[in-house]
Amino acid sequence: MPTLYHHPMSSASRFVRLILAEYGYQADLIEEQTWEKRRDFLALNPAGTLPVYVDDSMRALCGASVISEYLDETHGVLKRDRRLLAEDPFQRAEIRRLSEWFMQKMENDVTKPLARERVYKLQMTTDQGGGAPDSKVLRTARANIRQHMRYLTWLAGSRQWLAGERMSYADLAAAASISILDYLGEIDWADAPVVKEWYQRLKSRPSFRPMLTERVRGLTPVSHYADLDF
């Protein structure tokens, strides 16, 4: 069986997990703490980043965008109306644009700094960079949430799904990031009813169930995290 090296608070890892689940493929999950810089993991991915997908032939694919393209080319093309990348070239470009927005811009603006300050630092030693959260980083990331929620509100309010008429990688990339922020209680859902309705549709899918049951050591999620009607 293929193996996915991941971390439960990595949005890129969650993105790939959702793709695999939507396509009905299983992979053994190995939680990787990248700050430990394990030699065996660096042999798979010298960049030391997540996720890393190792196929049945022990070939390693590194990074969410690379893995998602590989999964589309090997599995998605067989799914027809369940394919997560559109057949139309322009529509495919829009899906890729939005996936990149959530996996890169939102990741750097919001998800990564909040996960690092509130989760990773609790699991790191002092030598690895652990310690108390940086209040300035938290303030900046929380201020940035508003911009991304406004954009999500526009997308979810003007389209059936974020990139068009069908659910796509764009929705899974956004939901991967939003689910981490929701776990941490960083989203005021009362201010984002349109995004909430869209997220409820994603959250209710079978592909989401395993993540909703997971818990991060030492950090309990908000009370509504696993509720489908919240």
For the segment 182-207, what is each residue's pLDDT rounded down to a tens digit?
999 999 999 999 999 999 999 999 99
Describe the chain by its helix, strand, coil percentages, rounded to 5: 60, 10, 35
Return the SS3 of 152.
helix
Q: What is the CATH number of the domain that holds 152?
A: 1.20.1050.10
Tally of domains in the chain: 2
- pLDDT number for residue 80: 84
DSSP 197-228: HHHHHHHTSGGGHHHHH--BTTBPPPTTTT-S
Same domain, 43 and 124: no
- Six-digit token pair at 132? 């108390």
Q: Which of 107, 106, 128 is closest to 33 using CA atoms?
A: 128
Same domain, 109 and 147: yes
- The DSSP output letter for 230 is -
- pLDDT number for residue 41: 98
Same domain, 67 and 37: yes
Determine the residue type at 17: R
Cis peptide bond upstream of 51, omega within 30:
yes
Residue with the bigger pLDDT between 148 and 217: it is 148
pLDDT bin (cut points 50, 70, 90) of residue 18 is very high
Return the SS3 of 69.
helix
Determine the residue type at 62: C
- Six-digit token pair at 18? 């959702």
Same domain, 102 and 133: yes
DSSP 31-67: E--GGG--HHHHHH-TT--S-EEE-TT--EEESHHHH
> Rounded to the nearest 5 degrees, what angle is found at the Cα of 79, between the Cα atoms of 78 and 80?
100
pTM tops 0.85, yes or no = yes
Task: Return the bridge partners of 61, or none.
Answer: 53
Calculate what percentage of the chain has a pLDDT beyond 70. 100
pLDDT bin (cut points 50, 70, 90) of residue 160 is very high
Same domain, 37 and 97: no
Q: Which of 179, 178, 182 is closest to 222 using CA atoms?
A: 182
* Mean confidence (pLDDT) of the chain: 97
Same domain, 158 and 61: no
> Is a pLDDT exceeding 90 seen at residue 81?
no
